[in-house]
Amino acid sequence: MTASYTVKDIQVLKGLEAVRKRPGMYIGNTGLEGLHQLVWEIVDNCVDEALNGHCNLIEVTMLPEGGISVKDNGRGIPTERHPATGKNTVETIFCNLHAGGKFDDDVYKVAGGLHGVGASVVNALSESMIVVIERDGYRYTQEFARGKPKGGLKKDGETQDTGTTVVFRPDSIVFGQTTFSSELVRDRLRTKAFLIAGLCIRFRDELRSLDETFCFPAGIQDFLEHALRDRQALDTQPIYVRHENEIRLEVAMTWTGDTSTRILSFVNSIPTPGGGTHDTAFRNGVHRALKAYLEKRNGLPKGVKGISGEDVREGLVAIVSVFLHGNLEFQGQTKDRLNSSAAGQVEPILRNALENWLHQNPVQAGVVTNRILLAAQARLAARTAREEVSRKSATRRLTLPGKLADCSLSSRDATELFIVEGDSAGGSSKQARDRRFQAVLPIRGKILNVEQASGDKLKNNREIQSLVQSMGTGMGHGFDYSRLRYGKVIINTDADVDGHHISTLLLTFFYRHLPELVRRGHIFLALPPLYRISVGAGKKMKIHYVFSDAEKEKLLQSRSGKDVDIQRFKGLGEMDAATLKATTMDPTTRTILKVGVHDEYQTDDLVDTLMGKDVRKRFIFIKEHAQEIQNLDV
């Protein structure tokens, strides 16, 4: 029998109720990404003042009680009564969706906050907010709580300063965790300062007594130098392109000896990790300019019939910053991907500039083109090797590691590979799996730290080779995504410090050497429980699996009496097959986390800091985050 569906069932949400009802529609999610999106929305409003020449200083302060303050020295929000709402303009902006000065080109020629919802969404999702305006010789203050004003706009005194300050504390009812990451906020602010030459951004974390000011006179040229700090650039001068007419385009780029590519793209200072039309136009412009130069000037060596975009981009490190005005189309409020046709102008602008540079700098152009030709020859050699392997594979079975317990289904998307540590965990996992679609690969101990290992060590490491053979894709120049054998690759390690370390080593390997699997969402982390807690006896007994000491204590505090049995799992090998299946392997009852890259630059920097050879960087990071560390593997 179906429930009734009448006019009474139709809800009309007023004001900011829709934001609180469905926050994910406005900030992506209510996890850490969504939490920090609140900060980015307010900071981007300040940056828009800077982009339009009205602000040269932004101050962001993380407060001890968990709130955050964002201040700029811009013009200050108008305070007069707004004719459309009958309320003062501050209240109009912070309590109404789609209210702001960025819907035409009169007030803001370029802006990152285009939808007019950022300030009001942050207000709706904050348990408290204070807005301070300095303008026209006076200081004004208004307070809000969960999107609603707590009173009117108050005139607090006289001042000669101008600007806007927003202090807010996220609502714990909305967010599971309300603690901001000092590192994330700091890195985002530094990136903003790189993108807008001359803008100073001061960052303070009062809990950790951190105080830094970012200001880069050379803008993205300084950014490129920073991005190259862990890579060896070719012996050429970086290429810098600046164009300002219908669109403003800045590009800083160079090539390195690495095989990976790092292209960081931005629109109106907003990071676009999902790329978009500007990113595609940049890639096409670079490819076509170098392809035309090679074919016209140098010709191609024997055996190389053409230059692919992959050849041109191998080893490329580039910062692409586009400033557009008008009606921009982003993918969602979080603006991960640009869909604006105006960015198509990037390709001819860049192509012309790059062709001029190549012709005016023949010696440096030779270094770059030689690098590209080597990449093309390596690509062709790898393809030949793959074809040879394919011909041989036609007459014999695929060679797989002996310790891999494969599944019977041949469909890639329907199959899963569990990577577990040790023979004991491997044995339990093989008993607990569904043999039709779940494969198990045991590895021995902590695998090689690929961030520090040489190429020879990587090739000769037995565990790494087992992983690569099981995937079926190969790696490096021999990587072939079409040969991936499993739809999900699930890292399943013990729920202790050693297990976390092994997971980190495996994630580093996938991120550095099979990054396409990470980008396409094939890598997952299992969440095995740390404790099995039975409460009660007989038919009333209930079994709880908990994943941390804090969760255990919370559960025990909520139970009266002391008829409780606690079993701590020291490892996956201690679980019987039924428990292992129910908690970590059965798709209907388990919890797994998909691994992804939200910000390529920050992820790359963090992996280098935590796993790289520079001990000093790691020491500084640990020192800054010492108060957050509960378990340290020494």
Structure confidence at residue 324 (pLDDT): 84
Which stretch of 18-32, 289-303, 348-362 has the lowest confidence by average pLDDT? 289-303
Residue 72 pairs in a beta bridge with 58, 164
Structure confidence at residue 243 (pLDDT): 93
Q: How many CA atoms lie within 13 A of 541 on its CB side?
A: 12
Phi and psi for 416 in degrees, rounded to 5?
Answer: -135, 140
Highest mean pLDDT among 96-105, 457-466, 523-532, 567-576: 523-532
| pLDDT band at residue 332 using 50, 70 and 90 as cut-offs | low
Instruction: Answer whether residue 52 shows pLDDT above 90.
Output: no
Q: Where are the domains of the chain?
A: 17-214, 224-382, 416-528+594-628
Structure confidence at residue 563 (pLDDT): 80
The more confident residue out of 337 and 137 is 137
Which stretch of 20-29, 40-49, 203-212, 601-610 has the lowest confidence by average pLDDT? 601-610
Structure confidence at residue 394 (pLDDT): 41
**Region 147-174 average pLDDT:** 95
Catalytic site residue from 250, 421, 451, 463: 421
Q: How many CA atoms lie within 13 A of 334 on its CB side?
A: 20
Structure confidence at residue 386 (pLDDT): 58
In 136-216, at which residue ranges do the beta strands (DSSP E only) sit?
138-145, 148-149, 154-158, 163-170, 200-205, 210-214
**Region 232-250 average pLDDT:** 91
Structure confidence at residue 398 (pLDDT): 57
Catalytic site residue from 127, 480, 496, 624: 496
pLDDT in tens, 120-160: 999 999 999 999 999 999 999 999 999 999 999 999 999 99
Q: Contact 37/334 with Cβ under 8 angstroms? A: yes
421 is catalytic: yes
| pLDDT band at residue 623 using 50, 70 and 90 as cut-offs | low
Per the structure block, which two tokens stand in for 454? 């040489």
Residue 135 pairs in a beta bridge with 138
497: how many CB neighbours lie within 10 A of its CB? 13
Instruction: Answer whether residue 21 shows pLDDT above 80.
Output: yes
Structure confidence at residue 110 (pLDDT): 53
Instruction: Answer whether residue 5 shows pLDDT above 50.
Output: no
Whose CA is closest to 364, among 460, 237, 510?
Answer: 237
Structure confidence at residue 569 (pLDDT): 82
Largest CA distance in the chain: 87
Provide CB contacts within 8 A for 121, sequence distance 6+: 16, 19, 23, 26, 27, 38, 41, 97, 333
Q: In whole angstroms, what separates CA 186 from the centre of its chain?
A: 15
What Cα–Cα distance (Å) separates residue 87 from each residue in 78, 123, 149, 546? Answer: 12, 16, 11, 50
C-alpha 326/C-alpha 342 separation (Å) is 9
Mean of the per-residue pLDDT values of the chain? 84
Structure confidence at residue 459 (pLDDT): 74
Whose CA is closest to 438, among 463, 414, 474, 403?
Answer: 414
Structure confidence at residue 625 (pLDDT): 61
CATH of 224-382, one of 3.40.50.11540, 3.40.1190.20, 3.40.50.970, 3.30.230.10: 3.30.230.10
CATH of 17-214, one of 3.30.565.10, 3.40.50.300, 2.40.50.140, 1.10.1740.10: 3.30.565.10
Structure confidence at residue 627 (pLDDT): 57
Structure confidence at residue 553 (pLDDT): 83
Q: In whole angstroms, what separates CA 91 from the centre of its chain?
A: 33
In 368-469, at which residue ranges do the beta strands (DSSP E only) sit?
416-421, 438-443
Strands 531-535 and 564-568: antiparallel
Structure confidence at residue 115 (pLDDT): 38
Structure confidence at residue 403 (pLDDT): 86
| pLDDT band at residue 274 using 50, 70 and 90 as cut-offs | confident
Structure confidence at residue 157 (pLDDT): 92
Instruction: Answer whether residue 615 shows pLDDT above 90.
Output: no
Residue 204 pairs in a beta bridge with 61, 211
Q: Contact 16/123 with Cβ under 8 angstroms? A: yes
In 222-336, at which residue ranges do the beta strands (DSSP E only) sit?
239-244, 248-255, 262-267, 270-271, 316-323
**Region 68-82 average pLDDT:** 93
Highest mean pLDDT among 159-163, 373-377, 619-623: 159-163
Structure confidence at residue 573 (pLDDT): 76
Query: How much of the chain, in percent, has pLDDT values that exceed 70?
Result: 87
Structure confidence at residue 102 (pLDDT): 45
C-alpha 394/C-alpha 390 separation (Å) is 6
The more confident residue out of 602 and 210 is 210
Structure confidence at residue 333 (pLDDT): 52
Instruction: Answer whether residue 107 shows pLDDT above 50.
Output: no
Using DSSP's 3-state secondary structure scheme, residue 81 falls into strand
C-alpha 330/C-alpha 28 separation (Å) is 13
Instruction: Answer whether residue 108 shows pLDDT above 90.
Output: no
pLDDT in tens, 490-509: 999 887 778 888 898 899 88
Catalytic site residue from 494, 604, 605, 608: 494
Per the structure block, which two tokens stand in for 532? 């099995």
Catalytic site residue from 127, 434, 498, 574: 498
Its sign, for the CA torsion 37, 38, 40, 45, is positive
**Domain range 416-528+594-628, CATH architecture:** 3-Layer(aba) Sandwich (3.40)
Which stretch of 445-459, 532-546, 588-602 has the lowest confidence by average pLDDT? 445-459
44 is catalytic: no
Highest mean pLDDT among 151-165, 505-519, 553-567: 151-165
**Region 585-605 average pLDDT:** 83
Structure confidence at residue 250 (pLDDT): 95
| pLDDT band at residue 58 using 50, 70 and 90 as cut-offs | very high
Query: How much of the chain, in percent, has pLDDT values that exceed 90?
Result: 40
C-alpha 144/C-alpha 130 separation (Å) is 6
Its sign, for the CA torsion 180, 181, 186, 191, is negative
Q: Which residue has the tokens 């006179």?
A: 217
Please calculate the CA angle 9-11-13 and round it to the nearest 5 degrees: 170
**Region 207-212 average pLDDT:** 91
Q: How many CA atoms lie within 13 A of 19 on its CB side?
A: 26
**Region 473-483 average pLDDT:** 84
Q: Which residue has the tokens 């860049």?
A: 350
pTM over 0.85: no
Q: Which residue has the tokens 């307010």?
A: 42
Q: How many CA atoms lie within 13 A of 122 on its CB side?
A: 28
Provide CB contacts within 8 A for 364, sequence distance 6+: 236, 237
Structure confidence at residue 388 (pLDDT): 58
What Cα–Cα distance (Å) separates residue 608 from each residue in 193, 227, 229, 296, 495? Answer: 22, 12, 10, 40, 24
| pLDDT band at residue 552 using 50, 70 and 90 as cut-offs | confident
The more confident residue out of 628 and 473 is 473
91 sits in which H/E element: helix 89-95
**Region 316-324 average pLDDT:** 93
Q: Contact 159/134 with Cβ under 8 angstroms? A: yes
The more confident residue out of 449 and 316 is 316
525 sits in which H/E element: strand 523-526
Structure confidence at residue 391 (pLDDT): 46
498 is catalytic: yes
